[in-house]
A and B are shown apart, each in its own frame.
Chain A
Amino acid sequence: MTPEALAELAARAVADAEAAVDPAQLEAVRRRFLGRRDGELTRAGAQMAAAAPAQRAALGRAFNGAKAEVEAALDARARQLAASVDTERIAAEWMDLTRLDESWTPGRLHPITRVLREIEAIFRQLGYAVVEGPEVESERFNFELLNIPAGHPARDSHDTLYLSDDVLLRTHTSPVQMRTMLEQPPPIRIIAPGRTYRRDNPDQTHFVMFHQVEGLVVDEDVTVADLKGTLLTFARSMFGHEREIRLRPNYFPYTEPSMEVDVSCFLCGGAGCRTCHHRGWIEILGSGMVHPQVLRNGGVDPERYRGFAFGMGPERIAMLKYGIEDGRELTLDDVRFLHQF
């Protein structure tokens, strides 16, 4: 036995190990060379005792080197073979993840809820509280305290559903303004969302029941410019940051001055399109400075305080924002419609 013979034996063992195609063959190679009793390398080791003492040290080193080399080769091959087994399992475990679990499908919020949430979020950031009031309302709160006495022409535009002579379904959420003023001293900063009712035959833009969000700010130094800035902030938050607004003088009995607010068309940018009737502007809400008599009716001194108020229709905003052409879709709860949101 010479160191050269040991090296040659090791080289053969390494070659056999690398040629093994599965763990069983590799185990056979291990036994052939490293088997505890008759492995070729094991036996070569046993022969070392017979070598001349002068050669033993060199032989011993050569043997240890050869054995380490073979064991390393066997281990490396074992790792290779194991890895290929994993690869096969992994390949066999392929899944089509484009097939989704259809038993888990969340429902959809109604588009009106989405719009109401957006409106509320914008005004909460501006420091407004959200206040609610009754839907069955008195004529006093719905009309009289808001400067719309019986016989006032403005009642024509509020086709009203009555429960009795002086109890009705509120035609707007403006009565919540009045209830708030009577309950809480200025400063006041609220929005009042809710359902409202009109005796309107339903069509593409009219509803028996619809929603409104009323806003009211009362403080000592409120200005028309504040109204403008507030509604500009709202319009940009709701419809995009490039939007402009314009205040068009108009008439509401409970505000003076009164103005309607147009937002520059978010579809054409103001150039004119079908949605904006080729005007470049879309009417989105009514507003104005709270009429001094309305402040007085709410127990607020108009000599000391001013206020502004505004009202908007979530149905109209939803139709504009989501491109809903027929508003009746908003009232039918067809799931195909709801699933678009």
Chain B
Amino acid sequence: MRYSANWLQDFVDCADVPTPVLVDRLVQTGTEVERVVEQPGAPAGVGVARVVQLERMPGSHHLWLTLVDTGDPEPLPVVCGAQNLALGGLVPWASPGTDLAAVGLRVGVRTIRGHGSQGMLCSPHELGLGSDHEGILLLEEGAAEPGTPLEVLVPPDRILELEITANRPDCLSHLGLARELAAALDRRLRPPELAPPPRVGRPAAELVTVAINDPSGCRRYRAEVVEGLTLAPSPLWIQQRLRAVGIRPLGLTVDLANYVGAELGQPLHTFDLDRVGGADGGVRVTVRRAVDGEPFQALDGGERRLDARDLVIDVGGSTAALAGIVGGRASGVGPATRRVLLEAATFDGPSIRATSRRLGLRTEASARFEKTLSPVLAALGGARFVHLAHRVAGAAVRPGPVDVEPLGPHRSVAIPVTASGLGRALGMPVAAGEAATALTRLGFEVTTAGDALTVTPPPDRLDVMIPADVLEEVGRSLGYERLPPTVPGRRRPALVVSPPAAREAVRDLIVGAGVDEAITVSLTSPSAQLALRPLAPPSPPLAVRNPLGPQWSALRQSCLPGLLQAAALNQARGAERIRLFEIGRAFWGASPSGLAEEPELLGLVDHVPAGEAVEAAARLRQLAALAVTVGARCADGPPEVRPQAVAGLHPGRSAELWAGGRRVGVVGELADGPRERFELRGRAAVAELRLDGWVVAGGPRPAARPLAATPGVVEDLAVVVPARAAVGPALAALRSVGIPECESVRLLDEYTDPRLGPGLKGWTFRLVFRDADRTLTGEEARRLRAAALETLAGAVGARQRETA
């Protein structure tokens, strides 16, 4: 919200406080300052003038020939194009030579279509006083004598743009902010002038009756009847203050309501009593919920359909306003208005907020009401309005008001605290006296009895209800900079060994293997998910009900689509080798808790550009090794690789990873379909592993064995096997089947050779046999070798290769 320092000055002396100090004090006490704008006053050379002659320029549809009294003996001719001039009105006149810096114009003596024009009449925009450039700034009668420098009426100002937190609607007003400022600067707060006007005529209650059908929606409704208020220009100081805070002046009645809103924080609404009144001139105001489907024509012209949750102001049987948000078209004040029904009410915040959001109608009034205002403000705002209406416009106020509070008047609750308790919570000693002083400066009533304080917040501070709220007021007043920095120490909770340590080990392992870490958005399009989600159950992805766009409309079931999209982006940006991984949750459908099953997945993608088929095959093998290594490092032994066609992967180049009787992952080359779907050229090796409950369990505890001192026997074994025999089961068989002396085994070579015969290939294994207790004899070594051959024959149908 925007605040005028000149306006604040009405309530607290702050004109002498330099801007940086002002900002610092506000920030330190909890008011966020977005910026402070120095607003110059009216430009030098501009004075008040009276239009003493006004006629159309012959032959022009829009230009006026005027004579203006500028305070000099002779009126001066000025040509003017604005359409809001009135004969006898007071306007600002810029003398020749004046610099209008706001519009970059130097005023001169000119001839327009043959007519001399000395100086010019100015709009607020031209004077740098606001954005309004549609008409000349109209001054109220009696504002000043012609010839008075406008600077006297429009002095320079400072505009504070502040962000007020949702719990402090009391600060959405100049008076409320002034109270904060007074406390922050340790200065006295001056209350607003509220001298009641003389009340004349028949009592308002004879014209207006108020019924509140829904006390939960409307805590208070206070009506006044004011006569003699029009939409004539407001006094310049009112106009200027409204402009300073970003409100466009629209004429006295409306301006006064807006003025009080910005000044005291109470939104006011004005109805034209003669438009809403019945035949006898009296009206019945009913605050009620709308009927389902009830139409409403707002001031802005749009028609809305209301429902039973919306609160409306019914006047004389028709819907005159959407309560707390906007008035109706048929009930508002206009140029013909002579009698005004003033509404100063207190509506329920959540109700206003819900209607405002649902209808997309956000106004100054709704922004205040939705934060829940104190009913005390309604009385204050109403009183201030009638005071100003009388003082500024001489309006006649009917005896009143009509004031309905179905639940009784608001009472602030006294909160008991102790200074020692405040000190214990803050972590520094607090004296009862200083706490009381701090609270009193903020408008609290405090009674002190030794250590005990009884604290009653000001009636508009609905946010202060419990001792913790008082703690905040005292803490921010004394200043958190006074607190010693300590850390909680005495008792430490028993530490849980958190699983993420194992996850980080996986991350480091993969990064060490040359793969970059990606973090892709867990939100995705359903079609991308359905293209590749090898581990997920067949249920469709969980859908977001109110997505920002189709690309974020579902929860992912696999990391791979996101990684492939990232790879495609990198490919499009010219990267040549893209290796990415991600560790994160996937969402596999509803869980028994009513939320979602959220397995933690590791996704791996290694993209090889087109034309590198050999490299791609090598990469796929590396990626498979990496996936198995991740498993072996962190779980109970390496997972088993089972060749198996996997949806979305190349059927001859895909496998499942199994551990502990569970499928824990897949690895393979991306099939053509998903590859084209993700717009990747070349080939991509992908793998996905489920980490939760398996890898991040922390892995087995290593067990050490004594190193054997006896020499080992190295035996190379050349065998012939079918061309599509898989080496994994062969190695597993050699490792695990009944040869206790077999210490290690690895595949030394795999080759094809026409001499082997059709459909066959050759393997050479290197085995190391060792007995920890004694040296093996040559005969024993031959026996072990034969046993190994027999094992291979059984596992994969291998036979020994005949040596040529």
Q: Which residues of A come within 8 Å of B, CB atoms?
A: 104-110, 112-113, 117, 120, 126-127, 129-132, 134-138, 150-154, 156, 161-164, 167, 169, 184, 186-189, 195, 197, 199-201, 208-209, 217, 219-226, 228-230, 232-233, 246-251, 253, 256-259, 289, 291-292, 306, 330-336, 338-339
User: With A129-B498, A131-B498 in contact, is A249–B476 under 8 Å at CB?
Assistant: yes
- B353, closest chain A residue (CB): A151
- Which of B491, B518, B545, B573 is in CB contact (< 8 Å) with A219? B491
Identify 29 residue pairs between A and B in the complex whose beta-carbon atoms are under 8 Å apart, listed by A's number: A108-B511, A110-B517, A110-B518, A113-B507, A117-B504, A126-B487, A131-B498, A134-B593, A134-B595, A135-B585, A136-B587, A153-B349, A153-B353, A169-B555, A186-B493, A187-B492, A221-B488, A224-B483, A246-B480, A248-B28, A250-B30, A256-B468, A259-B30, A331-B521, A333-B566, A335-B516, A335-B570, A338-B517, A339-B516
Q: How far is the CB of B511 from chain A (nearest CB, A)?
A: 4
Interface string of B27-67 (1 = CB under 8 A from A): 11110100000000000000000000000000000000000
- A288, closest chain B residue (CB): B472
Interchain CA distance A104-B513 in the complex, whole Å: 8
- A218, closest chain B residue (CB): B493
On chain B, the residues within 8 Å of A127 by CB distance are 492-493, 495
B484 within 8 A of A: yes
Interface string of B264-302 (1 = CB under 8 A from A): 000000000000000000000000000000000000000
Interchain CA distance A163-B352 in the complex, whole Å: 26
A167 lies within 8 A of B595 (CB): yes
B480 lies within 8 A of A223 (CB): no
Q: How far is the CB of B267 from chain A (nearest CB, A)?
A: 16
Q: How far is the CB of A3 from chain B (nearest CB, A)?
A: 60
A163 lies within 8 A of B544 (CB): yes
On chain A, the residues within 8 Å of B359 by CB distance are none
Interchain CA distance A96-B579 in the complex, whole Å: 29
| A-B pairs under 8 A by CB, number | 244
- A110, closest chain B residue (CB): B517
B261 within 8 A of A: no
- Which of A104, A137, A222, A333 is in CB contact (< 8 Å) with B580? A333
A251 lies within 8 A of B580 (CB): no
Pick from B424, B466, B485, B594 the residue with the most CB of A within 10 Å.
B485
Interchain CA distance A76-B141 in the complex, whole Å: 123
Pick from B471, B488, B492, B573 the residue with the most CB of A within 10 Å.
B488
User: With A225-B484, A338-B518 in contact, is A109–B495 under 8 Å at CB?
Assistant: no
B496 within 8 A of A: yes
Interchain CA distance A250-B164 in the complex, whole Å: 9
Chain B residues within 8 Å of chain A by Cβ, number: 86
Interchain CA distance A228-B584 in the complex, whole Å: 33
On chain B, the residues within 8 Å of A209 by CB distance are 521-523
- Which of B485, B493, B514 is in CB contact (< 8 Å) with A188? B493
B30 lies within 8 A of A223 (CB): no
Can you list the 10 inter-chain pairs with the closest CB atoms, starting with the nearest? A225-B427, A249-B30, A151-B350, A223-B427, A257-B472, A251-B165, A229-B485, A136-B596, A333-B518, A247-B480
- Which of A195, A199, A230, A330 is in CB contact (< 8 Å) with B548? A199
Interchain CA distance A109-B503 in the complex, whole Å: 13
**Other 17 A-B pairs with CB < 8 A, given A107-B581, A110-B519, A153-B349:** A127-B495, A130-B500, A137-B595, A151-B351, A153-B353, A161-B523, A188-B493, A223-B424, A224-B425, A225-B486, A226-B488, A228-B480, A249-B30, A251-B165, A256-B468, A259-B30, A339-B516
On chain B, the residues within 8 Å of A113 by CB distance are 507, 517, 519
B645 within 8 A of A: no
On chain A, the residues within 8 Å of B354 by CB distance are 151
A153 lies within 8 A of B166 (CB): yes
Pick from A105, A232, A247 the residue with the most CB of B within 10 Å.
A247
Interchain CA distance A161-B521 in the complex, whole Å: 14
On chain A, the residues within 8 Å of B476 by CB distance are 249, 257
Interchain CA distance A339-B166 in the complex, whole Å: 42
B500 lies within 8 A of A120 (CB): yes
Interchain CA distance A319-B490 in the complex, whole Å: 36
User: With A136-B555, A257-B476, A333-B580 in contact, is A161–B496 under 8 Å at CB?
Assistant: no
B543 within 8 A of A: yes
- B501, closest chain A residue (CB): A130
User: With A135-B598, A153-B370 in contact, is A336–B353 under 8 Å at CB?
Assistant: no
On chain B, the residues within 8 Å of A137 by CB distance are 595
Interchain CA distance A331-B520 in the complex, whole Å: 6
A228 lies within 8 A of B485 (CB): yes
Q: How far is the CB of B312 from chain A (nearest CB, A)?
A: 18
B167 within 8 A of A: yes
Interchain CA distance A262-B428 in the complex, whole Å: 21
B546 lies within 8 A of A162 (CB): yes
User: With A208-B552, A223-B427, A225-B428 in contact, is A162–B520 under 8 Å at CB?
Assistant: no
Interchain CA distance A112-B519 in the complex, whole Å: 8
A223 lies within 8 A of B514 (CB): no
Interchain CA distance A250-B480 in the complex, whole Å: 12
User: With A208-B548, A338-B516 in contact, is A292–B522 under 8 Å at CB?
Assistant: no
B426 lies within 8 A of A195 (CB): no
Interchain CA distance A224-B471 in the complex, whole Å: 10
Pick from B166, B353, B475, B493 the residue with the most CB of A within 10 Å.
B493
B578 within 8 A of A: yes
B518 lies within 8 A of A336 (CB): no
Q: How far is the CB of A318 from chain B (nearest CB, A)?
A: 11
B711 within 8 A of A: no
B330 within 8 A of A: no
Interchain CA distance A232-B476 in the complex, whole Å: 18
On chain B, the residues within 8 Å of A153 by CB distance are 166, 349, 353, 370-371
Interface string of B309-337 (1 = CB under 8 A from A): 00000000000000000000000000000
B165 lies within 8 A of A333 (CB): no
A249 lies within 8 A of B29 (CB): yes
Interchain CA distance A127-B489 in the complex, whole Å: 10
On chain B, the residues within 8 Å of A110 by CB distance are 517-519
Interchain CA distance A184-B543 in the complex, whole Å: 33
User: With A130-B498, A195-B585, A247-B480 in contact, is A256–B469 under 8 Å at CB?
Assistant: yes
Interface string of B514-548 (1 = CB under 8 A from A): 11111111110000000000000000001111111
A229 lies within 8 A of B425 (CB): no
On chain A, the residues within 8 Å of B167 by CB distance are 251, 253
B544 lies within 8 A of A169 (CB): yes
B511 lies within 8 A of A162 (CB): no
- Which of B472, B484, B515 is in CB contact (< 8 Å) with A256? B472
A289 lies within 8 A of B510 (CB): no
On chain B, the residues within 8 Å of A199 by CB distance are 546, 548
User: With A151-B349, A228-B480, A257-B476 in contact, is A251–B425 under 8 Å at CB?
Assistant: no
B481 within 8 A of A: yes
Interchain CA distance A129-B507 in the complex, whole Å: 20
Interchain CA distance A338-B518 in the complex, whole Å: 8
Interchain CA distance A268-B425 in the complex, whole Å: 34
B545 lies within 8 A of A129 (CB): no
Q: How far is the CB of B684 from chain A (nearest CB, A)?
A: 14
Interchain CA distance A108-B519 in the complex, whole Å: 12
On chain A, the residues within 8 Å of B555 by CB distance are 136, 163, 169
Interchain CA distance A23-B803 in the complex, whole Å: 47
Q: How far is the CB of B466 from chain A (nearest CB, A)?
A: 6
B101 within 8 A of A: no
- Which of B491, B513, B584, B585 is in CB contact (< 8 Å) with A107? B513
- A105, closest chain B residue (CB): B514
A195 lies within 8 A of B522 (CB): yes
Q: How far is the CB of B693 from chain A (nearest CB, A)?
A: 14
Interface string of B160-201 (1 = CB under 8 A from A): 000001111000000000000000000000000000000000
On chain B, the residues within 8 Å of A152 by CB distance are 166, 350
Pick from A233, A249, A332 the residue with the most CB of B within 10 Å.
A249
On chain A, the residues within 8 Å of B166 by CB distance are 152-154, 156, 251
On chain A, the residues within 8 Å of B579 by CB distance are 107
B481 lies within 8 A of A226 (CB): no
